[in-house]
Structure formats: C-alpha cells, structure tokens
Amino acid sequence: MSVDAATVRRIAHLARIAVAEQEVPHLQGELNAMLAFVEQLGEVAVEGVEPMTSVTPMEMKKRHDVVDDGGIADEVVANAPETQDHFFLVPKVVE
Amino acid sequence: MTDLTSLTIAEARSGLAKKTFTALELTDAHLKAMEDARVLNAYVLETPDHARAMAREADTKIAKGEGGPLAGIPLGIKDLFATRDVRTTACSKILGNFLPPYESTVTSQLWRDGAVMLGKLNNDEFAMGSSNETSCFGSVVNPWRREGSATALVPGGSSGGSASAVAASLCMGATATDTGGSIRQPAAFTATVGIKPTYGRCSRWGIVAFASSLDQAGPIARTVRDTAILMRSMAGHDPKDTTSVDRAVPDYEAVVGKSVKGMKIGIPREYRLDGMSAEIEKLWSEGASWLKAAGAELVEVSLPHTKYALPAYYIVAPAEASSNLARYDGVRYGLRVPGRSIGEMYENTRAEGFGPEVRRRIMIGTYVLSAGYYDAYYLRAQKVRTLIKKDFEDCFARGVHAILTPATPSAAFGIGEKGGVDPVEMYLNDIFTVTVNMAGLPGIAVPAGKDSQGLPLGLQLIGRPFDEETLFSLGEVVEQAAGRFTPSRWW
C-alpha cells in the first residue's frame, strides 16, 4: 500500500500537525518508504495467532480507591503557557 | 594523584570509603572534564552547583558511615528522565523549558543511594533515532575517531549523550533508555557497557514516554561490574507504574565473575545476515570461543521470525508514539504557537515543536491506527510480535540460558552519513537489538573488539526474562577476554 498526497494531508490533520503544501511530496516519499519496508509483514502466516497485548504476562496491580495525592494546583499549572486562577487558558472554543 | 575521572565506579567507591579522596574532589574532577569536552555536545544542561551540593551531602554521610551504595558517584542523566526543578526536554523544542515538579522513580532511587547528578545528557528527540542527530540541541560527537582521521562520528542513539559522556569519562555512569536498541547500539559504538533490562524491571514513571510497551530504562557504564552496580539502584517495583514488576532486586554485582561453566549459549542462525561484514563475523565467533573457553556450551538455535522484527517495530513503536505524543498540545506545558482557533493552535504548535523524525513517526503511527488500516498494519504487527516472542520462548525451553549475537551491523558512522534520503537506512542499525524489545527480554552490549579502522565493536547477550544476572556473568567473561577500550583524547 502507498499513500497519495491527499492521504498525507488527511494524516497530518488527524495528527494535528500543520503541513505546508510544499512539504507534502517530500513527506509522501518518506511515508511510502516506510510503508514499503513494513510490506514484508504480509508474508507472515498469522492465522490463529493472538495479537500481543502485554509482553510480560502479569496481572495489573490495583490500588485502593482513595485520594493519596493532590492539593498541588500551583505545581500542576506551573509549566503552562497561559493560565488564570489555576485554569489552563486556550483560544475561545464556544461563540 | 591519579586522574579521578579514569576510575571505575567500583574503584571510586573503594577510594571514597578509604578516604583517599572526597566525593567533592571526585565531582569537581568530572565537572572539569565536562567543561573541557563541550565540543562533544554530550551534555545539554550542566548542573555544577547541584552536583557540588549533592557531593558535599555525600561526604557528610560517608563521614558518618551512612553513605549509600552509590554515595558520591557522579552520574549523567539522559534528558528523557524528569528531574525535579531541573530542565527536562527530551531534546525536543516542544517541551521548551519544562521544569518538572517531580522526579522520575529511577533517578530518585539513584539519589536515595547517594549518587550525584552532573547534568542532563543529549539524546535523539523523544529517543527517536539511532545516531543522536535528531536532537534539537544538535548532534553528539563520538569520542572515538577512525585511525588517522578527524571526521566526526556519531555515538549512536538514542542515548548518544550517555554513551559519549561515559566513554569520554565525563561521568562515571549514565542513565539511558532503550526502545529498539537505544542503550545497546550507542554502547557498542563507544566501547561502553549498556544493559536493557527485562520489560517491567525498572519503573517508567517520570520518563518521557515514546512507545510504552517497549521503553525500558537501564544504565551505561565503562565496565560490566559498574553497570551491575547501577542496575541494582535503578531497578525495583514502583506502585506508580502498573507495568513495573513486584520482584525482589538481586545483588547483580555478586554474580559478576561467577562461573558460566555448563551454561548453554544459543547462536541464532538468522542473525548471520547476507552481506555481513567479515569483521562482525569474526567478532561474533571470537566471542563464542571466549564463552566456550570459560566452560559454556554453544548450540545453534533458530529464531525464524527475526527478519520481521524491525518492520513490526516500525508499526508498533510509531503507533504508540502517535498516541503518547498527543499530549503535546500547547495547553499544559511546553511550546505554544498561537492560531486563530484552538485547532489551528494545536497544529501550529506541533508543526513548530516536533522535528522531522518525530513528525514522520507520529504520522506513520496515525496512519496505521486510522480507520480501515488498523487490521492490516497494527493488528498484524502485534500478531507478528507474539511470534517473535514465541521464537525466544521455544529457544529458552530447550535449555538455552542466553543468546549471543553481534550488537550492531557496523561500527560508528560519520555525522550526516546515513538516513538522509531513505529513513529505513538508519533504522537498519537496530536490526540485532530490536527483537529483544519486541519480546520484552533483557539484553546487554559489551565491548568486544575493534574494526580495521580502529573503531569499537560490541557483542550482545540476550537473556531469559528477569535473568539479568546471567547476562552480567557472561558479560564479564567477554570483558575479561576482550579487555577494555578507551578512546585517545583529542578534545
């Protein structure tokens, strides 16, 4: 399988990465090189094989449903580009 | 007095205990070495004040007889590990001047045991790369050069800063991470020792995520013994990482030098690639003969799905990366590039913040997970991964204790030499290491010789799950037979 220019633009949008029109052919070439490389997986007989979901067979540990951390709003927002009263600020989303 | 930076961790530990020198003297010697070697670009942030404060504290504790197992040992920290109030960037523009309000579990355990942080080490952006050329801080230079040449070579990647700093004695050991070979390949390129532990052995909490089902932290140091010392402090269960394993951490150092007599060592025939260089071939058979001479038994084994590991990796890892890196949206931390709408702000931020390799991998990952392609790519790759793991399980079930392979298909190459046109050319560097991540196994790279141009080459030993101890014992045999390799100083 290979991707065309329209697909490259669609993937870029899904990934929320702005791609300038002049970058599309170059990206298309790179993505197609990678897709050509992974094409060989088609040779492997995978019928009846379980897909891997956990590389180390183990039961996930659960913790008690209690609050054991918190009250650190200052730290939570400390690295944010824009905040107000412990809220993250973003461009207006509702008119 | 001998140059303190030339000591191993084990030697420094005994010198500190005997009061031959202080932790502050040891740290100062390394800070000086670090300053003198800025041309290598191994450190992206030097933290001398922090280091001296930690060294003084170590001296106080040592004086009271309360020094931990790493008291006063100066280390470098890969910039993928969150360090409290010390800038952590994953060498990406998108994290900007991120100051973590928390400490990664692995580094907190190193400080608990008395280690000293000299600074943060360069790596490929988000650990995506095999040459350390994708870092937003620029390439790292390998302290090794070809004989009679001044061409700057890569140290490998993604833990290129760690490997370069350890090889050039700019720290006694370093933290590193390995998703497809990022500890073992740079270790092989710089004549250092690096181990990727079993998946789950070290906590991933506080380490910038790349591909969560493959990422593992591990140490790089100059000897097998030193990596064993560091491993003991880095490993262990952490309730904050549900994939970390609740198993006691063995005294890894105790098995360094233990007999390997009677161990069965597998030599996988699929690792004998077409067109493999005669030098790599020779190194591999030499390694096998050293283990045999130490009493191990060599057996030929087959890992039939080996050739599919790298293509499967380039589906699984980008898929996980595209999901993990969705968090960089310009809202909660890091870079923000304005836009007319929130969507445009996301797109502008991510276009500006991610470098070309990261962008490429996010896009491939997004594609293979998108509607209509998931089964053909991602699901198939996860099935292939099951088969790769089964290859190893079958091999271990036949009584094989460990598997010996070359660490890399070649020695270090020049900066700018590879991957310019076809990204796959760079990816092939990890052909011998990536299977280990896909199967979640431990693997160690140990320096084993030099190529005809005088550049170091390494061997890899792959172990059973949670049997890092066997790798340390076997690694020591290789180190004793091959000797140690130190670059001659030109910087």
**Full 3-state SS string of chain B:** CCCHHHCCHHHHHHHHHCCCCCHHHHHHHHHHHHHHCHHHCCEEEECHHHHHHHHHHHHHHHHCCCCCCCCCCEEEEECCECECCECCCCCCHHHCCCCCCCCCHHHHHHHHCCCEEEEEECCCHHHCCCCCCCCCCCCCCCCCCCCCCCCCECCCCCCHHHHHHHHCCCCCEEEEEECCCCCHHHHHHHCCEEEECCCCCCCCCCECCCCCCCCEEEEEECCHHHHHHHHHHHCCCCCCCCCCCCCCCCCHHHHCCCCCCCCEEEEEHHHCCCCCCHHHHHHHHHHHHHHHHCCCEEEEECCCCHHHHHHHHHHHHHHHHHHHHHHCCCCCCCCCCCCCCHHHHHHHHHHHHCCHHHHHHHHHHHHHHCCCCCHHHHHHHHHHHHHHHHHHHHHHHCCCCEEEEECCCCCCCECCCCCCCCHHHHHHHHCCCHHHHHCCCCEEEEEEEECCCCCEEEEEEEECCCCHHHHHHHHHHHHHHHCCCCCCCCC
When scoring A3, A27, A34, A90 by the number of chain B Cβ atoms within 10 A, the one with the most, hence best to mutate, is: A34
Q: Report the predicted TM-score, pTM, of the whole model to 2 decimal places.
A: 0.97
- Asked whether B110 and B70 are in contact (CB, 8 A), the reply is yes
The pLDDT assigned to B1 comes to: 52
Which residues in chain B have Cβ-Cβ distances shorter than 8 Å to A37? Answer: 310-311, 314, 424, 427
> Which pLDDT band holds residue A76 (cuts at 50, 70, 90)?
very high
Q: Give me chain A's average pLDDT, please.
A: 93
| Residue B78 appears among annotated catalytic residues | yes
Please confirm whether the linkage preceding A54 is cis (ω < 30° from 0): no
CA Rg, chain B, in Å? 21
- Asked whether A54 and B361 are in contact (CB, 8 A), the reply is no
CA–CA gap between residue B418 and residue B134 (Å, rounded): 12
The pLDDT assigned to B421 comes to: 74
> Which pLDDT band holds residue A57 (cuts at 50, 70, 90)?
confident
Query: Among residues 59-78 of chain A, which lie with CB inside 8 Å of chain B?
Result: 60-61, 63, 72, 75-78
Q: Out of B182, B203, B322, B473, which one is annotated catalytic?
A: B182
Both structure tokens of B475: 């690694």
Please tell me the distance in Å from B33's CA to the nearest CA on chain A.
33
- What is the number of residues in chain B? 491
DSSP A4: -
Which residue in A49, A60, A93 is closest to B242 by CB distance? A60
Please tell me the distance in Å from A12's CA to the nearest CA on chain B.
6
The pLDDT assigned to B177 comes to: 98
> Which pLDDT band holds residue A29 (cuts at 50, 70, 90)?
very high
Q: How far is CA B450 from the centre of its chain?
A: 21
CA–CA gap between residue B351 and residue B348 (Å, rounded): 5
CA-to-CA separations, B211 to A51, B216, B296, B313, in angstroms, rounded: 17, 10, 36, 10
CA–CA gap between residue B177 and residue B127 (Å, rounded): 8
Please tell me the distance in Å from A52's CA to the nearest CA on chain B.
5
CA–CA gap between residue B221 and residue B195 (Å, rounded): 9
Instruction: Say whether B363 and A31 touch across the interface (CB within 8 A).
Output: yes
Task: Compute the Cα dihedral for B11, B249, B176, B465 and give only its sign.
Answer: positive
How many beta-carbon contacts under 8 Å exist across A and B?
163
User: Residue A69 burial (CB < 10 Å; 0-12/13-18/19+)?
Assistant: exposed
Compute, in degrees rounded to 10, the torsion defined by CA atoms B342, B345, B347, B351. Answer: -170
CA–CA gap between residue B469 and residue B444 (Å, rounded): 11
Both structure tokens of B350: 């991510």
Collapsed DSSP state (helix, strand, coil) of residue A83: strand
Higher pLDDT, A68 or B69: B69
Backbone dihedral angles phi then psi of residue B99, each to the nearest 5 degrees: -115, 100
Please tell me the distance in Å from A42's CA to the nearest CA on chain B.
8
CA-to-CA separations, B327 to A84, B66, B222, B316, B429, in angstroms, rounded: 20, 42, 36, 18, 29
The pLDDT assigned to B99 comes to: 98
The pLDDT assigned to B191 comes to: 98
CA–CA gap between residue B168 and residue B346 (Å, rounded): 41
In angstroms, the first-to-last Cα distance of chain B is 22
CA–CA gap between residue B198 and residue B436 (Å, rounded): 9
Which residue in B98, B351, B377 is closest to A79 by CB distance? B98
Which residue in A40, A58, A75 is closest to B308 by CB distance? A40
Instruction: Say whether B381 and A80 touch across the interface (CB within 8 A).
Output: no
The enclosing H or E element of A88 equals strand A87-88
Both structure tokens of A69: 């951390």
The pLDDT assigned to B273 comes to: 87
Residues of chain B with pLDDT under 50: none
| Residue B158 appears among annotated catalytic residues | yes
Amino acid at B239: P
Say how many C-beta atoms besides its own lie within 10 A of residue B169's C-beta.
22
CA Rg, chain A, in Å? 23
Pairing outcome for strands B193-196 and B216-221? antiparallel
When scoring A27, A38, A82 by the number of chain B Cβ atoms within 10 A, the one with the most, hence best to mutate, is: A38
Q: Which residues 6+ apart lie within 8 Å of B195 measured at CB?
A: B183, B184, B218, B219, B227, B231, B442, B443, B444, B445, B468, B471, B472, B475
> Which CATH number is associated with domain B1-491?
3.90.1300.10
CA–CA gap between residue B424 and residue B428 (Å, rounded): 6
In angstroms, the first-to-last Cα distance of chain A is 42
Amino acid at B352: E
A82 touches chain B (CB under 8 A): yes
CA-to-CA separations, A18 to A3, A9, B212, B348, B371, in angstroms, rounded: 18, 9, 26, 6, 21
